[in-house]
Amino acid sequence: MKVFQAIEQRRAVKHYQKESKMPAEDFDKIMSAAILSPTSYNIQHWRFIRVTDQLHRHKMKDAAWGQAQVADAAELIVLCADVNAWSDRPERYVANSPQESQDILLPMMHAFYAGKEQIQRDEAMRSCGIVAQTIMLAAKGLDYDCCPMVGFDREEVARLIHLPKGYVIAMMIAIGKAEKAAYPRGGQLLLEEVLSENHF
Ligand SMILES: Cc1cc2nc3c(=O)[nH]c(=O)nc-3n(C[C@H](O)[C@H](O)[C@H](O)COP(=O)(O)O)c2cc1C
């Protein structure tokens, strides 16, 4: 599927074929594409929890106030982020860069994030937003549907996945084969309303 087709055809699908499973190679292909997504300083804050246990899935569904896709879709991924990734062995993020670039980037990265909690968290969430879209488009490209979700009790989901201290949950994504098509688009703002030139 072409990129523009995937963008246009991706919709938030809520109803999935319960029996449909995703072959391992498809899951691998989607997630291998996902981790090629861009991040500031290549920090790659994302940490993914793939929820495969059915009992766990049903507990997640309860935590998501009964939203069916959480239990029914072939896959459920909880997108988490390590807010402190910027300071966790940052040399890994520039390992393939020339030494002179590393010598500039590492202190720069430190100065950019050290002591700035809001920026650290913003960056972690930004990384997850970008990787979420890669996951959804990659899934669409393989003819799956998906639903991004924040409609769940964050504390309960954090408890279920044993979220470590210093990590945040950005969202969940259910992926599978649609049982019913998405509802018609809710109401897109016009491009002229959201796009300005040079300033607001
Ligand atoms: C961050 C985020 C959280 C969302 N949470 C939910 C959710 O909990 N349940 C749900 O059914 N849809 C959820 N959605 C889907 C949105 O309602 C949907 O993307 C939006 O209405 C636009 O429709 P479309 O994705 O089909 O174009 C979420 C979407 C995003 C991006």
Pocket test for ligand 1, best of 16, 126, 137, 150 (most atoms within 8 A of CB): 150
Give the phi and the psi of residue 15 in degrees, each rounded to 5: -120, 125
Q: What spacing in Å lies between the alpha carbon of 113 and ligand 1's midpoint?
A: 30
Q: By CB neighbour count within 10 A (0-12 exposed, 13-18 middle, 19+ buried), where does 107 fall?
A: exposed
Per-residue pLDDT 10s for the chain (200 aa) are 799 999 999 999 999 999 999 999 999 999 999 999 999 999 999 999 999 999 999 999 999 999 999 999 999 999 999 999 999 999 999 999 999 999 999 999 999 999 999 999 999 999 999 999 999 999 999 999 999 999 999 999 999 999 999 999 999 999 999 999 999 999 999 999 999 999 99
The answer, yes or no, to whether any atom of ligand 1 lies below 6 A from the CB of 136, is: no
The answer, yes or no, to whether any atom of ligand 1 lies below 6 A from the CB of 67, is: yes
The answer, yes or no, to whether any atom of ligand 1 lies below 6 A from the CB of 149, is: yes
Residue closest by Cα to atom 3 of ligand 1 = 149
pLDDT at position 1 is 75
The answer, yes or no, to whether any atom of ligand 1 lies below 6 A from the CB of 125, is: no
Q: What spacing in Å lies between the alpha carbon of 62 and ligand 1's midpoint?
A: 18
Residue closest by Cα to atom 13 of ligand 1 = 149
Domains, in order of start, for the chain: 3-194 (3.40.109.10)
Q: What spacing in Å lies between the alpha carbon of 135 and ligand 1's midpoint?
A: 14
Q: Cβ atoms within 10 A of the Cβ of 103, count?
A: 12
pLDDT at position 88 is 98
- Cβ within 8 Å of residue 136, ≥6 positions away: 10, 146, 148, 173
Distance between CA atoms of residues 49 and 140, nearest Å: 20
H helices, E strands: number in the chain: 8, 6
Token pair 């300033």: residue? 199
